[in-house]
Structure 1
Amino acid sequence: MRRSFPFLLATALVLLALSFGGSAGASAREFHVDPSGAVADGTTSATSFRSLEDALSQVQLQSGDRLLLHSGSYGELQIQGQHVDGPVFLQPAPGAEVVADTLRISDSSGWRLTGLLIEPQQPLEVPRDGPDVGPPGFPTTLVVIERDARDIVLEGLSIRSAPSIEGWGEAEWLDRAHNGIAVEGANVRLLENSITNVRHGITASGTGVRVEGNTIDRFSEDGIRALGNDGVYRGNTIKNCYRPYYHHDDGFQSWSRGPDGRAGTGVVRNVEITGNRIINFEDPDQPFRCQLQGIGLFDGMFENWTIANNLLVVDSWHGITVMGARNVKVVNNTLLDAVPGPLGPPWITIVSHKNGTPGFGNTVANNLAPSFNETGFDPELFILDPAATHFTHNLRFEAADRMFRDADRGDFRLRNDSAAIDAGTAEHAPDIDLMGQRRPVGTAPDIGAFEFIE
């Protein structure tokens, strides 16, 4: 039987619609959640609910749907058992002020959450079992994406233990500061979130996690912990570290885990750390100022990592330290000593695993730093194998005022007479710099994270 062209075209359009996860004629819908029950925009009972729990229990969500939260306090916000083809959006209604004590996503996929404020409105009750177990005052985690959740996006969230830390001492940091985000699920994206007044900022142990454009400001333990394979950490700012009690503080830290969970007994693979800014402090008179370490990969093995175009202003020997590396590239980074003195200057180094296992295939190129530890440190424990790591076109400097435009005021771009200009090698340089400027501008790439521009 011969089919007409209009029939064939209509059939093709139906099949095309079905291939994108919907039926012909399906359209995105809006549902309103208002704790006060006073939605005043003409919605009907079929599209408005008193709680998110009610909405999730009564609506069969589909791709493109939006759940709009109206002003109010939502307590412990939970999404559980909600797998959608996605994306399904959860966001404040226009002009709404939405706050939740915590956010937890489990056994769910396909969600995109934007614009929420996560801040405890009252002291949190810490669970007596599970990952957050602890005595009174022990921190919980404000946002948790559990292992059985995947394909989740958090964008533009404000996450904080409290609006301000003014007047906080050791007791307040211990009793009131919580951890920011913990990601155990796979293929999660954290985009442009603000995480402030916390202990740990972000801990990512899931596979394929992307952490891009986030700001972690005022933290008392570690900025980012990257523990999963296939991660991307790009364009984040980590700044203003506090140390009201003893802790080993890192801007960025990773360690491997074997099948039994012990640190240093596994391999973390395929991770990118690019274009991040790690700044120990902005105010030299900041109270409880910590001695921040930069990028510390202390318990390998670490395999197929790229660490490029990062700016680190820290107060420790460990500017960029990798212990146990295979095919790790450390290229075009800029390091400065935040406080000249006995805890520095910060170096770039790659050494053997703590257990003595050597690495191979590593490159340290085009970096600008006060120190390059090419012989290893504490040689009885940590060994640098010259055959494992190739150092080339790096530049050591002593006087920041001869290298940067105005380091004292936070301008770490190169001076027009800097020795780093056109001194790098194109073999290892990224195509762009920390600012997104194409590289090279001159006859060769510049050394460090910034390409010089007149």
Structure 2
Amino acid sequence: MKKLILVILLTLAMAPSGFAADFYVTPPNGAKSLSGDGSRDHPFTALEAALQSGTIKPGDTVYLTGGEYGKGLIRNVHFSAPVTIRPMEGKKAHFEFLVVYQKSRNLHIQGLGVWPSSFPVKRQLLVETGYDTSDIVFSDLDLRGGVDAGTYPGWGKPEWENRKVNGIMLRGPRGKILDSQFTGLDFAISTLADDAVVTGNIITGFSGDGIRSLGDRSVIRNNLIRDCIAMDQNHDDGIQSWSGGPKPGTGNLDRLTIEANIILEWTGPKDHPLRCVLQGIGLFDGTFSNLLIRNNLVVVSAYHGISVYGANRATISNNTVIHPLLPSGNRPWIMVNKRGNGTLSRDVTVANNLAMHYILSDIEGLFINRRNQVISYPARLFANPAAGDYRPIAGGPLSGAADPRYAPPTDLLGIARPLGSGPTLGAFEVDTKAISGE
């Protein structure tokens, strides 16, 4: 009994001094100073001032009561544990833009809508964080090139020029962008610092790159990137990275993971006049050390399906890289090449992939090239490629054909490998037994 009492007392001593609290903030409606006490009946009238007031503590939640919040600036707001900012249940909070900077730390910003209300746009970014921020998490955002961004397939070049705005740029370490929607933008997501996480996002209609990630130990996983628009001479990429240094490509980028993403060049009418020729995953000037690219579906018409220039200890496994207009000859390809300065790639594993072509050259050290199949006749291999179904035929020649030593434990959809006697080539796992009726 004494031991039990001692444990309880110690637990209480280590517990936080208070419980997490809820606060409320209305749209400013012209207010420049803080009023209200943050309660539901007397909400604060200015978000930044409320966060700086000292009333809000680590672990608290700030609810936005809904409406138009205008220009969002959050400066010099730092907490020892996350503070959540989100709309009230059933309410929507819209910002023209949102900037988090001046050493702000430990914020979780959730469920906001951010888009410009007037055109041509005057800012290049909808949401951004400063280099001196850290541990800023964004989730369930709705970022658009305008309130009507869902109509982007009908926009002409003038509309795209007037709405040329980027989605989000995270400059501080340990930033995250999760489960958010990006519609009708130029460059959708950019992360510049280390330990970034970009997962579960849907990018629809973009005229630049879908995702750029430039920091060490960053993770790009489970994102859908589709419908690229051709606006200028930029070589648009679904996912792009390069190493830093005094100049791009002169440093080393370590432990980048690109996993279980879907990149679709175009899903609309095939003859759309602004349809771009998209590159899939382009890592064009490394060095990229301890690189992992696996379980991605890349459906593009440019040559570069997955291309790495300057790999050092890299694994590229179980990806499906295919042309949307079948058949296509030798593109898109999976390529591993030397750096721009001539340094050879080193210690590379390329295994269990499906692509239209492979260029695996200028590699020294350990090079494992296993069970990589060229896609020559897609209709014989996939369930319904003409309709965008790139799952291998169950019991077909791709099922059970992968080398289990290099197959990931799950596939693009999270299905455990193997289904049957052995794992499947490419990003999707299927049973080694034919399904009745196929």
Q: Distance in 2 between matches of 1:291 and 1:44?
A: 54
Cα offset for 1:77?
Answer: 1.0
Q: Distance in 2 between matches of 1:406 and 1:46?
A: 56
Do the aligned partners of 2:345 and 2:364 also contact (CA within 8 Å) in 1?
no
Deviations 1:62-113 (A, max 9, x none): 2221111112211121221111122211001122221001111111111111
Gaps of 5+ in 1: 38-42, 127-138, 377-383
Do the aligned partners of 1:83 and 1:109 also contact (CA within 8 Å) in 2?
yes
Do the aligned partners of 1:337 and 1:344 also contact (CA within 8 Å) in 2?
no
User: Among 347, 368, 387, which residue is 2:333 paired with?
Assistant: 347
Partner of 1:268: 253
Task: Please say if 1:49 is aligned against 2:41.
Answer: no
Number of residue pairs matched by the alignment: 419
Q: Distance in 1 between matches of 2:7 and 2:368?
A: 60
Deviations 1:381-412 (A, max 9, x none): xxx23655321111112111111001111111
The aligned runs of 1:195-274 (5 Å cut-off) are 195-258=182-245, 260=246, 262-274=247-259
Do the aligned partners of 1:196 and 1:217 also contact (CA within 8 Å) in 2?
yes
The aligned runs of 1:420-431 (5 Å cut-off) are 420-431=398-409
Give the letter aligned to residue 376 of structure 2.
Answer: E
Partner of 1:119: 115
Do the aligned partners of 1:294 and 1:312 also contact (CA within 8 Å) in 2?
yes
Cα offset for 1:220?
Answer: 0.4
Partner of 2:32: none
Task: Please say if 1:412 is aligned against 2:390.
Answer: yes
Task: Please say if 1:156 is aligned against 2:140.
Answer: yes
Task: Please say if 1:33 is aligned against 2:25.
Answer: yes
User: Among 363, 367, 378, which residue is 1:385 paired with?
Assistant: 363
Partner of 2:276: 290
Equivalent position SS for 1:327? strand
Equivalent position SS for 2:135? coil
Cα offset for 1:122?
Answer: 2.7
Equivalent position SS for 1:171? helix
Q: Distance in 2 between matches of 1:62 and 1:316?
A: 51
Identity of aligned residues (%): 35
Task: Give the CA RMSD over aligned residues.
Answer: 2.2
Do the aligned partners of 2:48 and 2:75 also contact (CA within 8 Å) in 1?
no
Deviations 1:201-243 (A, max 9, x none): 1111111001110111100010111111000111001100000
Do the aligned partners of 1:170 and 1:245 also contact (CA within 8 Å) in 2?
no
Gaps of 5+ in 2: 30-34
Distance change >3 Å, CA 334–CA 195, structure 1 → 2: same
Task: Please say if 1:433 is aligned against 2:411.
Answer: yes
Distance change >3 Å, CA 71–CA 396, structure 1 → 2: same
Deviations 1:328-371 (A, max 9, x none): 10000001112358895111111111111012110100001111
Partner of 2:59: 64
Task: Out of 440-449 and 269-278, give the one that drifted further.
Answer: 440-449
Which consecutive segments of 4 or more residues in structure 1 shift more than 4 A?
3-7, 123-126, 340-344
Return the TM-score normalized by structure 2: 0.90
Task: Out of 179-188 and 61-70, give the one that drifted further.
Answer: 61-70
Q: Distance in 2 between matches of 1:364 and 1:142?
A: 38
Equivalent position SS for 1:444? coil
Partner of 2:264: 279
Distance change >3 Å, CA 230–CA 407, structure 1 → 2: same
Q: Distance in 1 between matches of 2:304 and 2:428?
A: 21
Do the aligned partners of 1:323 and 1:352 also contact (CA within 8 Å) in 2?
yes
The aligned runs of 1:66-85 (5 Å cut-off) are 66-85=61-80
Task: Out of 244-253 and 228-237, give the one that drifted further.
Answer: 244-253
Give the letter aligned to residue 10 of structure 2.
Answer: A
